[in-house]
């Protein structure tokens, strides 16, 4: 579990660093500007790290599922080679997702005024600036981002239901551990995937509320993910108690 949490924390740190410094600068600056190259760079990196975050969360869910539902096979199933393969797949999937989003927007003919109704460069606000019909591009963006988020959401919730089904006849201590894991999944789904699904599982349009929803999956959820997954862990709680 801590192997995946290491990569989750790293992606969270890099993910928020892509948005927060520019956001703070814009809040302090009188004129809020960003160059075209910087905007495209931010878009690519943000989608890349966001994709990695979603796929690593899927890896965490699979790791917890094996630990609870197949404990005797855990060391064989989740070997170091398998864990490295999962992380490699996460980075590959994140790159493919980011590249597809980047290619959808890089060739768009943009019209003036070049004002983005958002605090970072995202696909939907950029589609709004295009001087061409973006209906098909918007559909592709929904299929890419929305489908990835939806599949991950189903996997996270499915793993939680399978764990609850497996432990229904177990002792109270075992049920408490599994319930702690499920509560972590549900908290992450609420903070991260709820706003993502609200934004990317609808037509490619921007609304004023999108900026408030985006705060959850760009800043709040990445900040709390490591805390959620570690402070809900019994070993971590015992270690903190001993340290205190």
- Whether the pLDDT of residue 42 is over 90: the answer is yes
Cis peptide bond prior to 54, omega within 30° of 0:
no
- Cα 72–chain centre separation: 30
**The tokens 């903070």 sit on which residue?**
191
Residues 6+ apart with CB under 8 A from 5: 60, 226, 229, 230
Q: Count of domains in the chain? A: 1
For residue 175, give the H/E element and its range: helix 172-188
Instruction: Report in angstroms the alpha-carbon separations of 83 from 66, 68, 79, 239.
Output: 12, 17, 6, 25
Mean pLDDT (the chain, rounded): 86
Q: Per residue in 150-184, pLDDT tens?
A: 888 888 888 888 888 888 777 777 777 777 777 77
Q: CATH no. for residue 128?
A: 1.20.1070.10
In a domain? residue 64? yes
d(CA 216, CA 196): 9
Containing domain of residue 113, as a range? 2-233
Q: Per residue in 192-239, pLDDT tens?
A: 888 888 888 887 777 778 888 898 888 888 888 877 777 666 677 788
In a domain? residue 199? yes
Q: Per residue in 102-141, pLDDT tens?
A: 998 888 888 767 888 888 988 888 888 888 888 888 888 8
d(CA 80, CA 86): 10
* Nearest CA among 159, 162, 183, 195 for reference residue 60: 159
In a domain? residue 119? yes
- Torsion of Cα atoms, 81 then 84 then 89 then 92, to 10°: -130
Q: Per residue in 49-76, pLDDT tens?
A: 999 999 998 998 898 888 888 889 998 9
In a domain? residue 243? no
Residue 208 DSSP class: T
In a domain? residue 241? no
In a domain? residue 239? no
In a domain? residue 46? yes
């Amino acid at each position: 579990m801590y192997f995946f949490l290491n990569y989750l924390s790293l992606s969270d740190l890099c993910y928020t660093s892509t948005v927060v410094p520019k956001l703070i600068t814009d809040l302090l600056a009188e004129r809020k500007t960003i160059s075209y190259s910087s905007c495209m760079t931010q878009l690519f990196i943000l989608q890349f790290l966001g994709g990695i975050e979603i796929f690593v969360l899927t890896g965490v869910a699979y790791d917890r599922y094996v630990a609870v539902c197949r404990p005797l096979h855990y060391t064989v199933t989740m070997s170091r080679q398998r864990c490295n393969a999962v992380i490699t797949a996460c980075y590959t999937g994140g790159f493919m997702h980011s590249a597809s989003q980047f290619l959808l927007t890089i060739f768009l003919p943009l019209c003036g005024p070049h004002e983005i109704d958002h605090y970072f460069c995202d696909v939907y606000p950029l589609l709004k600036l295009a001087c061409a019909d973006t209906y098909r591009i918007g559909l592709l963006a929904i299929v890419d981002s929305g489908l990835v988020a939806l599949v991950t959401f189903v996997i996270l919730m499915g793993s939680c239901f399978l764990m609850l089904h497996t432990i229904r006849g177990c002792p109270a201590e075992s049920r408490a551990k599994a319930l702690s894991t499920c509560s972590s999944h549900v908290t992450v789904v609420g903070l991260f995937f709820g706003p993502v699904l609200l934004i990317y599982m609808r037509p490619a349009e921007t609304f004023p509320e999108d900026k408030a929803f985006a705060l959850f999956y760009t800043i709040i959820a990445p900040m709390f993910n490591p805390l959620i997954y570690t402070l809900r862990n019994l070993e971590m709680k015992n270690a903190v108690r001993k340290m205190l």
